[in-house]
Structure 1
Amino acid sequence: MMRRSHICEERGSGWDRIAESIEFHQLPAPSIRSAESNTIVTLSSPKPLSEMDDDEKVRAVYLHSCLQAVSNQDTNNKSIRNRFGLTDKESQKASSLIKLALDAKKIVPKDPDAGRKLMKYLPYWAGHSALSFM
């Protein structure tokens, strides 16, 4: 009934739309957790980077990395700056965000041997063993 009323669809594109919209509007990434037999997704209102806690920053970098990976684009310092609305002069802030996500094991280097300025990242699930599928 919901599908016929155009309230929902069966293609599974809902999460993609949510993630793209969050990226576009530079919103904090959603918090997703399981509770008993359901899943709780919490969406947040706009919040400046300076007001985000480390967990929110890690989730935002991870979501960005996921979107970049499924779009065949690279996550790097520049893409992180774009995601958070940072200037070129704020590359150290982007590096700090990347380090938080690396330490949380949410992203991994695409090529661990690449130079620092050429470093690119993947979500942990698309790591080196999954590269052949991308």
Structure 2
Amino acid sequence: MLVTALSAFVRRRGLHLHQSTQNRFIEEVVRQEVKMFPEQALRELIANALVHQDFLATGTSVMIDMYSDRIEISNPGIPPIKVERFIDENRSRNEQLAKLMRIFGICEEKGSGIDKVVSAAEMFQLPAPDFRVGDTRTTAVLFAHQDFADMSKSDRIRACYQHCCLLYVSNQRMSNQALRERFRLSESQAANVSYIIGFTKEAGLIKADESESTSTRYARYLPFWA
């Protein structure tokens, strides 16, 4: 249903929906198709773009750009909160539209849509979604699967920060082990994860939980704003 609705939306906007949003593989002579992007994440991001668009902006609208390795969903307008706080805070630009979409079950009741996007990306072992603010538009980028070895330093830092935020709003704390599990890495790669945590701390995005053990092995981490 979502693919059909998305296709209709794209056609109305005069865009082209590429068929690269599916991965195909053959097992025991039977071809199977595995969705490249989680449906829940797409639904939440599209609903979010519709709810938070600036209707006073002229000559522009919500846009969905699809590529072989990512989907970009953007809306006119600058968000009322910083992108670093998308996971733990929410402020709707169009409250009446948001209320209507909640009644229809299209978007979240408590503003937890971005939490679900990040969680779905982790479950599908995708790079962390990227939220970008330009001069007139806000863009959410959902990436296709990428092996850990191929992720850039910024990709890993963004994933570390988002995972830390996701755990914090669930009343949990991030540890080396928790981040290893997010990246699907073995215990022998704990040192690599420690480097990522260190880089994310240097970027000012996370901090050590002083109420927990100060030992590097058992250290726990919080978002910078906690």
Answering whether residue 151 of structure 2 is matched by residue 22 of structure 1, we say no
Q: Which amino acid aligns with 1:94?
A: V
Q: Deviations over 1:64-103 (max 9, x none)?
A: 0001111111211100110100111111111111111111
What's the counterpart of residue 205 of structure 2? 106
CA deviation map 1:32-58 (0-9, x unaligned): 111223311111011111111111100
Runs of at least 5 residues in structure 2 that lack an aligned partner in the other structure: 1-96
Tell me by how many angstroms 1:10 deviates.
4.5
Distance in 1 between the 2:206 and 2:190 partners? 18
Q: Match of 1:130?
A: none
Q: 1:39 to 1:91 in 2, by over 3 A?
A: same
Cα distance in 2 between the residues matched to 1:70 and 1:29 = 17
Residue of structure 2 aligned with 1:8, choices 94, 103, 107:
107
SS in structure 2 at match of 1:41: strand
In 2, Cα distance between equivalents of 1:13 and 1:74: 19
Query: Which residue pairs with 1:118 in the alignment?
Result: 218
Equivalent of 2:188 in 86, 89, 95: 89
Structure 1 vs Structure 2 CA RMSD: 2.0
Aligned counterparts of 1:73 and 1:9: Cα–Cα separation in 2 = 22
Q: TM-score, length-normalised on structure 1?
A: 0.84
Q: Distance in 1 between matches of 2:194 and 2:153?
A: 14
Tell me whether 1:41 sits opposite 2:140 in the alignment. yes
Stretch deviating more after TM superposition (57-66 or 30-39): 30-39
Aligned length: 126
Aligned to 1:7, the other structure's residue is in SS state: coil
Per residue, is there more helix in 1 or in 2? 1
Query: What pairs up with 1:30-69 in 2 under 5 angstroms?
Result: 30-69=129-168
- Write the distance in 2 (CA, Å) between the matches of 1:34 and 1:70: 23
Query: Match for residue 132 of structure 1?
Result: none
* Residue of structure 1 in register with 2:176 after alignment: 77
* Aligned mates of 2:194, 2:112 — CA distance in 1: 31
Instruction: Return the structure number with greater relative CO, CA threshold 8 A, min gap 6.
Output: 1
Query: In the superposition, relative to structure 1, how do residues 11 and 35 fare at CA in structure 2: closer, same or farther (>3 Å)?
Result: same
Letter in 2 for 1:100: F
Residues 26 and 114 (structure 1), Cα distance of their counterparts in 2 relative to 1, 3 Å cut: same
Structure 2 distance, partners of 1:89, 1:10, is: 41
Structure 1 runs of 4+ with >6 Å offset? none
